[in-house]
């Protein structure tokens, strides 16, 4: 590693970075910095000893495509995982705070406001043990004005900095789980919010220089602190709003015989709208969308903007409605009872290519099925039963474990089931032997495709009764689906015309 350089005016050392919080954001983000900046030493710390032990093992605590390779390449060279929070803070003058900011469960604002105790405790710890000037970077998603609060906490508690200062920057993370490593390698933009003072701008410049090791300068945006903090909440609210909008339309499609995928394709071709995030599904999940919108709603209400708050609240309400509607449809289709019926659930993670189950729609769907007496049989390539049970517990849902069974293969989960329910869009589910599954299932055999990833025409040919989000049924009781994918039809016409 190169010799330690010190910033000429701020006095911070430039070749040591510490990240507090070794989770889904801290781990991949700082592993990427270590990979792209071999001259910088990166130490990721966490209070959770088991998590740090896992980061130091061959079995990393989170699954993210491409992450294993980067960690293996850098760990022990310029990437380190440790529980020594104090030591890492003292060694590094550039500190990322990537701790969790969940929704408050108790007290004022419970159910909507962000719980900022972890980020505040990071501020207090830094202040207590900091020996020099530091740049503190909010990587966590936080409400507007958190940087101001953090600045006050740190400044009021700083003991041993010898008059050195702290600069708080906002640098929200826009990675998506499942594609985090690709997103980090090639971000649409990096956003840095900082104080508008001369030193604040210089501190933002230090962070921009780190990213400039691999991100083109024109994709590094700088704003004031509050715009940066708010932009992250708004980005998630807008993305979730598109999903809720399409989910609302999917319900109308089912009633009218329109096909939501065709509607998505038609409207997504409009360059003003664009094709991304227009897929209807059983509902969005993940640790961020709901919590960040609720946080936005809470901020709007706190500012007296009740109509604005109501507008965004509907995005979350629609999502809840979608999960309930999907599950009610399963129960009513199965002759209004699922009691003692085996239901195969394929996919439990909130999206493909992750093992993360935080706020996964599977929790609500499975809970409703279990409440109605079903025996729920789950297969997910990356989710462990313990993690699913922890999420149920977090939502105060009691699970009768004798009726909530996890399997090592889809075939085991499906064997003897009345219905097969797709809840996560894992690619491997598209290629399963549905002919064989049909033979082992109870009849009539139902498929409920909550992600619209299967070949519905083929499934109907096999004999399944297929229910898919946003696809109406014809008078014959079958889905109104093309026997061929529209793209294939278009190609066939083009070939004929050529
Ligand atoms: N998960 C995502 O896809 C994503 C994307 C963008 C932004 N974010 C935001 O990033 C932040 C972190 O999210 P995450 O998914 O990585 O959370 P996480 O729960 O996976 O990780 C947070 C880690 O911080 C640790 N921690 C908490 N307080 C600590 C302290 N005082 N000292 C040391 N360690 C401490 C916890 O033990 C935990 O391991 C959140 O604000 C989230 O909203 C998440």
Q: What is the pLDDT of residues 243-264, one digit of tens each?
A: 999 999 999 999 998 999 999 9
> Does 141 sit in the ligand 1 pocket, CB within 6 Å?
yes
- Which residue from 18, 20, 22, 25 has its CB within 8 A of the most atoms of ligand 1, so it is best to mutate? 25
Separation of CA 98 and ligand 1 centre (Å): 5
The protein residue whose alpha carbon is closest to atom 19 in ligand 1 is 100
CA distance 298 to 311: 12
CA distance 200 to 220: 16
Q: CB of 101 within 8 A of CB of 140?
A: yes
The protein residue whose alpha carbon is closest to atom 28 in ligand 1 is 118
pLDDT at 157: 87
Instruction: Describe the chain by its helix, strand, coil percentages, rounded to 5.
Output: 45, 15, 40
Q: What is the pLDDT of residues 45-63, one digit of tens each?
A: 999 999 999 999 999 999 9
Separation of CA 291 and ligand 1 centre (Å): 13
**What pairs with residue 193 in β-bridges?**
170, 223
- Range(s) for CATH 3.40.50.720 in the chain? 16-215, 238-468
pLDDT at 130: 87
Residues of the chain scoring pLDDT < 70: 1-3, 160-163, 480-498
pLDDT at 257: 87
Q: Is CATH 3.30.70.1400 the classification given to domain 238-468?
A: no
- Pair of tokens at residue 407: 């399997």
CATH of segment(s) 16-215: 3.40.50.720
pLDDT at 492: 58
Q: Which ligand 1 atom minimizes the distance to the CA of 62?
A: 20
* Secondary structure element (H or E) that encloses residue 465, with its range: strand 465-468
Separation of CA 30 and ligand 1 centre (Å): 13
pLDDT at 458: 96
Strands 94-97 and 79-82: unpaired
Q: CB of 109 within 8 A of CB of 136?
A: no
Separation of CA 119 and ligand 1 centre (Å): 10
> Does 137 sit in the ligand 1 pocket, CB within 6 Å?
no
CA dihedral of 314, 320, 326, 332, whole degrees rounded to 10: -110
Q: Which ligand 1 atom minimizes the distance to the CA of 125?
A: 31
Phi, psi of 168 (to 5 degrees): -100, 130
Phi, psi of 420 (to 5 degrees): -120, 125
pLDDT at 43: 98
Task: Give the global pTM.
Answer: 0.93
> Does 118 sit in the ligand 1 pocket, CB within 6 Å?
yes
């Amino acid at each position: 590693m190169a010799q330690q350089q010190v910033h000429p005016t701020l006095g911070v050392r430039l070749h040591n970075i510490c990240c507090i919080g070794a989770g889904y954001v801290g781990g991949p983000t700082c592993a990427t910095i270590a990979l792209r900046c071999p001259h910088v030493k990166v130490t990721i710390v966490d209070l959770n000893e088991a998590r740090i032990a896992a980061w130091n093992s061959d079995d990393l605590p989170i699954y993210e495509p491409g992450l294993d390779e980067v960690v293996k390449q850098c760990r022990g060279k310029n990437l380190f995982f440790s529980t020594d929070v104090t030591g890492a803070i003292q060694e590094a003058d550039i500190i990322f705070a990537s701790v969790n900011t969940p929704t408050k469960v108790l007290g004022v604002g419970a159910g909507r406001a962000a719980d900022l105790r972890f980020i505040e405790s990071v501020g207090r710890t830094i202040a207590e043990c900091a020996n020099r000037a530091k740049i503190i970077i909010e990587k966590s998603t936080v409400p507007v004005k958190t940087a101001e609060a953090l600045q006050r906490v740190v400044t009021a508690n700083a003991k041993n900095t010898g008059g050195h200062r702290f600069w708080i920057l906002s640098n929200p993370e826009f990675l998506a789980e499942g594609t985090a490593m690709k997103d980090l390698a090639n971000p649409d933009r990096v956003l840095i919010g900082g104080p508008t003072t001369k030193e604040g701008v210089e501190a933002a410049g230090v962070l921009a220089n780190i990213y400039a090791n691999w991100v083109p300068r024109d994709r590094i945006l700088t704003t004031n602190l509050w715009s940066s903090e708010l932009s992250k909440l708004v980005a998630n609210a807008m993305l979730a709003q598109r999903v809720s909008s399409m989910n609302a339309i999917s319900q109308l499609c089912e009633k009218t015989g329109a096909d939501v995928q065709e509607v998505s394709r038609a409207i997504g071709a409009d360059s003003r709208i664009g094709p991304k995030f227009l897929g209807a599904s059983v509902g969005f999940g993940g640790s961020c969308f709901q919590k960040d919108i609720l946080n936005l709603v809470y901020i709007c209400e706190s500012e007296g903007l009740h109509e604005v708050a109501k507008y965004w609240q509907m995005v979350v309400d629609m999502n809840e409605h979608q999960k309930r509607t999907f599950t009610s449809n399963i129960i009513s289709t199965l002759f209004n009872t699922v009691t003692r019926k085996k239901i195969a659930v394929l996919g439990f993670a909130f999206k493909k290519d992750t093992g993360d189950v935080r706020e996964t729609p599977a929790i609500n769907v499975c809970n409703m099925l279990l409440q109605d007496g079903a025996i729920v049989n789950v297969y997910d390539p990356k989710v462990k039963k313990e993690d699913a049970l922890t999420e149920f517990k977090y939502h105060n849902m009691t699970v009768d474990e004798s009726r909530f069974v996890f399997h090592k293969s889809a075939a085991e989960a499906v064997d003897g089931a009345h219905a097969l329910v797709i809840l996560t869009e894992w690619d491997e589910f598209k290629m399963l032997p549905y002919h064989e599954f049909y033979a082992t299932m109870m009849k009539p055999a139902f498929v409920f495709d909550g992600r619209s990833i299967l070949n519905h025409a083929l499934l109907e040919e096999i004999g399944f009764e297929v229910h898919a989000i946003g696809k109406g049924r014809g008078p014959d009781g079958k889905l109104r689906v093309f026997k061929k994918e529209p793209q294939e039809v278009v190609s066939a016409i083009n070939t004929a015309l050529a």
